[in-house]
Amino acid sequence: MEQQLYGIFLYGVFLLTMGGIYAVLTLGLNIQWGFTGLFNAGVAGFFAIGAYTTAIVTSAASERHLGGYGLPVAAGLVAAMVASAVIAWGVGRICIRLRADYLAIATLGIAEIFRLVLKNEVWATNGPRGISLIPKPFEHLPEPWNQVGMLLLVFAVVAVLYVLLERARRSPWGRVMAAIRENEAAARAAGKDVERLRIEAFVLGAALMGLGGALMAHHIKFIEPNAAEPVSATFLVWVMLVIGGAANNRGAVFGAILIWTIWSTAEILSARLPPEWAVKSAYLRIFLVGLALQIILQRFPGGIFRERRFRTAPSSSTREQPP
Amino acid sequence: MIEFLNFYLIPGLVLGSIYALGAIGVTLTFGILRFANFAHGETMTLGAFIALSLATFTGWHPFAVLPIAMALTALAVLGMDRLFFRPLRHGSTIILVIASFGLMLMVRSLVQLVWGAQLRSFGQGIDLPWVLFDALRIFPKHVTIVCAALVLMLAVHLLLSRTRAGKAMRAMADSPDLARLTGIDTERVIVTTWIVGAGLAAAAGVFLAYDTHVESQLGFKLLLPIFAAALLGGIGRPYGAMAGGLVIGLVEELSTYPWIGSEALVPPGYKTGVAFAIMVAILIWRPSGLFRGRVF
């Protein structure tokens, strides 16, 4: 009995850690889509860049892939954010002017190119076999504490990001972003450098996706090119954001943890089914998540947590309303 | 030289005509319904699997069951439109893109649920090539695929240029508001668009499956090259999409030819990346495509 409870506890810790990592990814997408209205269909690509960067920077030296510098995990996380941000800046410079549909197609194409590179540049990434033995923070601690430590680390990251992003949302910068999303022409007419601001949002969002990818790589200790498959990363993150509520950071975090809990509980339940049904139920699970997305889009377009709008002062329009 | 024809040019033409069929559907839905339909690849997968089931059930040649497969796929797509696209039609079109993204995964998982995820084939036995001039090898299946694709493209041309429905479609692609003002029943045009797009998608899926094999990832692999073809041809331009498909198919196959020295110009592992790279380049430098399509 005690053994079983302990097992459930460990599973709960693992589940929440993954949920927290998805919350980082969803917060990243929320900056791009929720606040600024940029349709990024290549979440998986930035996720992979972050994961591979940290894997190369922090893992022990190996002949199978580039690097193996054995640097601390913190350095890996920073490097992952920087690498994703730099690549996103390059991508943003060339395709940020595209209208939403075109940006979606372009980012999906770019993510697929990343995946091809990761698969084919065997000298750097060990190709399809991926990079294993990525260090995990706190892994030297005794049994439950190593897992709990990772969970606390992830939750601390989510909390810090949440506070920072809430401040950003209420700041003039955040309001300009909403203005660009709502009416680009008006924002331009008000003298805002729309292109530059959109790139800023794209880069910031991609940096968080890289961070999420890096955390995932440390948590699972392994990364391979197919982790950047559209099903596992991009689609799930989109569903999390749309169901939780786009343009609401609380919604992004809540949606991530909710959908991840449903997603992995369904996996546990289906593992108890006979083998041929277990495989089938994995497909059914994707189908049902897709269906949930459609229902939310049609019935509750704002998601669970709706966007909190700024109220403008009734009389003097020049004065800024405190948040 | 002969090697170039056998292993690069002919496969390029076959792939190009398959892309062309798929791209017509994408360009029509993009032009008329105003959104990039990410579920279009999955329509092809669905068509291929429906044809596979029909061919297994009846024991006929896949091309004999093709019209039924096209009709059934069109019916399925009309059902999807009714359930998932029509309720969102009057909002922002970007929501339709999210819906199509979700639908893509739904259709794929449904296909995997029903037919399984393993590779299947139409099982036509070994296809021996005709040998011309002692060296030029042409596979009969490639000839049938290209001919069937040409027939379908001719049918699209006749539909668009000779029928009222086709004229209404072109009018709506040019300006939906103006089309509505002149009394065109826009819902009917949308239904026609889905039928044409889904039918051609099913045909493209069946052709590719007949050339290679049937698998649940078939459509997703086609999706980006087809978007590339539609963009290259110019959105809302069916003839552009045909040309774009042919160009993308040829470029993809020819890119691995050793043009410079004895090494493949593009390493074979990156072959599929060529289409994506062209697509990104078009989006950046010439979003209206080569044939001056519309940019929304």
Q: Which amino acid is at A260?
A: W
Average pLDDT of span A6-31: 91
pLDDT for residue A199: 92
pTM of this prediction? 0.87
Contact A287 B102 (CB under 8 A): no
Contact B94 A100 (CB under 8 A): yes
Between B14 and A302, the more confident residue is B14
Assess if residue A316 is contained within a domain.
Answer: no
Assess if residue A273 is contained within a domain.
Answer: no
Assess if residue A188 is contained within a domain.
Answer: yes
Does A268 have pLDDT greater than 60?
A: yes
Contact B109 A287 (CB under 8 A): yes
Q: Which of A100, A113, A298 sits opposite B276 (nearest CB)?
A: A113
* CA–CA dist B140, B128 (Å, integer): 8
Count the domains in chain A: 1
Q: Which of B36, B83, B102 sits opposite A104 (nearest CB)?
A: B36
- Whether the CB-CB separation of A111 and B280 falls below 8 Å is answered with no
A61 touches chain B (CB under 8 A): no
Q: Which residues contact A119 (CB under 8 A, 6 or more apart)?
A: A125, A127, A128, A225, B269
Q: Which residues contact A309 (CB under 8 A, 6 or more apart)?
A: none
Q: Which of A101, A279, A287 sits opposite B110 (nearest CB)?
A: A287
- Which run of H or E residues covers position A132? strand A131-132
pLDDT for residue B78: 93
Percent above pLDDT 70 for chain B: 89
| Chain B residues with CB-CB distance to A94 below 8 A | 280, 284
Q: What is the pLDDT of residues A148-163, one digit of tens each?
A: 888 999 999 999 999 9
Between A317 and A191, the more confident residue is A191
Q: Would you give the distance in Å from CA A108 to the centre of its chain? A: 15
Interface of B with A (CB under 8 A): 30, 35-36, 38, 83-84, 87-88, 91, 93-95, 97-99, 101-103, 105-106, 108-110, 112-113, 117, 220, 224, 227-228, 231, 267, 269-270, 272-273, 276-277, 279-280, 283-284, 287, 295-296
Under the banding of pLDDT at 50, 70 and 90, the label for residue B124 is: low
Contact A235 B277 (CB under 8 A): no
| Bridging pattern class, strands A222-223 and B130-132 | unpaired
Q: What is the mean pLDDT of chain B?
A: 84
- Which run of H or E residues covers position B131? strand B130-132
Following CA atoms A141, A142, A143, A146 in sequence, which dihedral angle do they give, to the nearest 10 degrees?
Answer: -10
Does B267 have pLDDT greater than 80?
A: no
Between A115 and B198, the more confident residue is B198
What's the distance, Cα to Cα, between the start and end of chain B in Å? 43
A238 touches chain B (CB under 8 A): yes
Query: Could you state, in order of their start, the residue ranges of all structural domains in chain B?
Result: 13-216
Count of A-B CB contacts under 8 Å: 122
A278 touches chain B (CB under 8 A): no
Return the SS3 of A72. coil
Contact B94 A41 (CB under 8 A): no
* CA–CA dist A196, A184 (Å, integer): 13
Closest by CA position to A215, among listed A15, A9, A24, A61: A24
Contact A297 B98 (CB under 8 A): yes
Q: What is the pLDDT of residues A34-93, one digit of tens each?
A: 888 888 988 999 999 999 999 888 877 776 777 767 778 888 899 999 999 999 998 888
Average pLDDT of span A119-126: 78
Contact B87 A101 (CB under 8 A): no
Task: Identify which of A161-165, A274-278, B211-215 has the greatest average pLDDT.
Answer: A161-165
Q: Would you give the distance in Å from CA A157 to the centre of its chain? A: 13
* CA–CA dist A16, A253 (Å, integer): 12
Q: Which of B99, B106, B277 sits opposite A297 (nearest CB)?
A: B99
A183 touches chain B (CB under 8 A): no
Name the token pair of A256: 């991530």
**CB-based burial, A127-143: b 16+ in 10 Å, e otherwise:** beebbbebbbbeeeeee
Does B43 have pLDDT greater than 80?
A: yes
* CA–CA dist B70, A173 (Å, integer): 51
- Whether the CB-CB separation of A255 and A244 falls below 8 Å is answered with yes
Does B241 have pLDDT greater than 60?
A: yes
Query: Residues 23..42 of A with a Cβ closer than 8 Å to B: which?
Result: 37, 39, 41
Signed CA dihedral, A314, A315, A319, A322: sign only:
negative
Strand partners, B138: B130
Q: What angle do CA B73, B12, A102 make, to 5 degrees?
A: 60
CB atoms within 10 A of CB A6: 12
- Whether the CB-CB separation of A255 and A304 falls below 8 Å is answered with yes
Assess if residue A36 is contained within a domain.
Answer: yes
Residue in chain B closest to A242 (alpha carbons) equals B98
pLDDT for residue A285: 84
Does A210 have pLDDT greater than 90?
A: yes
- The range of the structural domain enclosing residue A149 comes to 2-228
* CA–CA dist B25, B36 (Å, integer): 11
**CB-based burial, B76-112: b 16+ in 10 Å, e otherwise:** bbbebbeebbeebbeeebbbbbbbbbbbbbbbbbbbb
Range in A266-275, B176-185, B240-249 the model is least confident about: A266-275
Under the banding of pLDDT at 50, 70 and 90, the label for residue A311 is: low
Contact B287 A102 (CB under 8 A): yes
Residue in chain B closest to A296 (alpha carbons) equals B99
Return the SS3 of B81. helix
Assess if residue A241 is contained within a domain.
Answer: no
Q: Report the 3 state secondary structure along A105-118.
A: HHHHHHHHHHHHHH
Under the banding of pLDDT at 50, 70 and 90, the label for residue A317 is: very low
Does A106 have pLDDT greater than 50?
A: yes
| DSSP summary character for residue A322 | P
Name the token pair of B214: 């049937």
Work out the minimum CA distance from A103 to partner chain B, whole angstroms: 9
Rg over alpha carbons for chain A, rounded to the nearest Å, is: 20
CB atoms within 10 A of CB A220: 15
Q: What angle do CA A239, B100, A283 make, to 5 degrees?
A: 60
A284 touches chain B (CB under 8 A): yes
Range in A218-227, A281-290, B127-136 the model is least confident about: B127-136
Work out the minimum CA distance from B218 to partner chain A, whole angstroms: 15
Q: What is the pLDDT of residues A286-299, one digit of tens each?
A: 888 889 889 988 88
Name the token pair of B30: 């993009």
Percent above pLDDT 90 for chain A: 25
Between A320 and A73, the more confident residue is A73
Signed CA dihedral, A87, A93, A94, A100: sign only:
positive
Return the SS3 of A202. helix
* CA–CA dist A147, A11 (Å, integer): 10
CB atoms within 10 A of CB A263: 20
Does A312 have pLDDT greater than 60?
A: no
Contact A297 B102 (CB under 8 A): yes
* CA–CA dist B223, A41 (Å, integer): 14
Under the banding of pLDDT at 50, 70 and 90, the label for residue A320 is: very low
- Whether the CB-CB separation of B54 and B61 falls below 8 Å is answered with no
